[in-house]
């Protein structure tokens, strides 16, 4: 039996739940507390907030990825987190004075919902070799949706909707002025698909015994590179984050996919076919 067709594996021991809870609380504290930090220049504050958020959110995803996949449990977690996120959204207008607290609660509940969705998605994959074409196609599709597809159009015509379906990283000190919480502003966002596929890949890493530590650091560096490029070079348009996640995942697991010659040809054909279709749709859509 080749490594690529090996049966899925799970962690030998279930990690303690308190670690995940602590990380979730730290992520919430970061989102709620960063807007009140004073004395940091805006540019430095944007970089610091982005790096801290990426590190903490990735820690949350990585910790929850260690748990064995359980469809009904993950579905229940998804439903509960979506309900909390929706309820928080409904209360946002009536709690404008508590905007930082509400925004942080919305961001964390949305992040957790995406994690459970990604874990459910990981159940579909039965062998590790499937992860390679999935990663490549997902990266191509995200590039298309941002630059020529629905995400790009939504960014132009309905930015509020895109922001709602994202986790927003607050600007350091934006709520520390006279306006208080009402002055809250954000420096960047990470969207729905980014966190779903991030959870999908990290859950698959544990399920198939891939390099979880290398994946964590590879994805973190890749995501930070993409987000900081947009922050530090304003002329660069909003970049899709999923290709950076895919790059970090694939670089960290070089050599983990044992494809036969025919499988390599099939993967190449699928990726090229998808790329050509997306390119054609983009060109037709732009006319």
Query: Phi/psi class of residue 38: alpha, beta or left (left: φ > 0; alpha: ψ in -120 to 50)?
Result: beta
In a domain, 24, yes or no: yes
In a domain, 142, yes or no: no
In a domain, 274, yes or no: no
What is 144-198 written as a DSSP string? HHHHTSHHHHHHHH-HHHHHHTEEEEEPTTTTSSTTGGGG--EEEEEEHHHHHHH
In a domain, 37, yes or no: yes
- The structure's pTM equals 0.86
In a domain, 204, yes or no: yes
Per-residue pLDDT of the chain in tens (287 residues, 90 and over written 9):
334 444 454 454 567 788 899 999 999 999 988 888 888 887 888 888 889 999 999 999 999 999 998 999 999 999 999 999 999 888 777 777 678 888 899 999 999 999 999 999 999 988 888 898 888 888 888 887 776 666 656 556 656 666 677 888 888 888 877 777 777 888 878 878 899 999 999 999 999 999 999 999 999 999 999 888 888 887 777 778 899 999 999 999 988 887 677 766 776 776 677 666 656 655 555 55
In a domain, 263, yes or no: no
Number of structural domains found in the chain: 1
In a domain, 270, yes or no: no
In a domain, 21, yes or no: yes
User: What residues make up the domain containing 85?
Assistant: 9-127+166-258
């Amino acid at each position: 039996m080749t490594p690529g067709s090996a049966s899925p594996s799970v962690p030998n021991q279930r990690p303690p739940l308190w670690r995940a809870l602590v990380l979730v609380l730290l992520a919430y504290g970061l989102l709620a507390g960063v807007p009140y930090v004073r004395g940091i220049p805006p540019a430095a504050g944007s970089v610091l907030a982005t790096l801290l958020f990426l590190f903490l959110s990735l820690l949350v995803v990585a910790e929850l990825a260690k748990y064995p996949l359980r469809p009904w449990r993950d579905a229940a977690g998804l439903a509960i987190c979506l309900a909390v996120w929706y309820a928080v959204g409904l209360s946002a207008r009536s709690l404008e004075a508590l905007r930082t607290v509400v925004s942080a609660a919305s961001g964390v509940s949305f992040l957790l919902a995406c994690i459970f969705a990604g874990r459910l998605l990981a159940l579909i994959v039965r062998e590790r070799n499937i992860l390679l074409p999935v990663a490549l196609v997902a990266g191509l599709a995200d590039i298309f949706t941002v630059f020529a597809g629905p995400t790009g159009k939504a960014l132009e015509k309905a930015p509020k909707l895109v922001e709602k379906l994202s986790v927003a990283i607050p600007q350091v000190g934006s709520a520390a002025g006279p306006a208080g919480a009402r002055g809250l502003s954000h420096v960047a966002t990470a969207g729905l698909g980014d966190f779903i596929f991030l959870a999908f890949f990290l859950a698959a890493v544990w399920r198939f015994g891939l390099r979880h530590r290398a994946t964590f650091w590879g994805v973190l560096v890749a995501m930070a590179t993409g987000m900081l490029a947009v922050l530090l070079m304003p002329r660069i348009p909003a970049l899709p984050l999923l290709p950076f996640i895919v790059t970090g995942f694939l670089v960290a697991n070089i050599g983990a996919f044992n494809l036969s010659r025919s499988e390599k040809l099939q993967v190449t054909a699928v990726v090229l076919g998808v790329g050509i279709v997306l390119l054609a749709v983009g060109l037709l859509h732009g006319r």
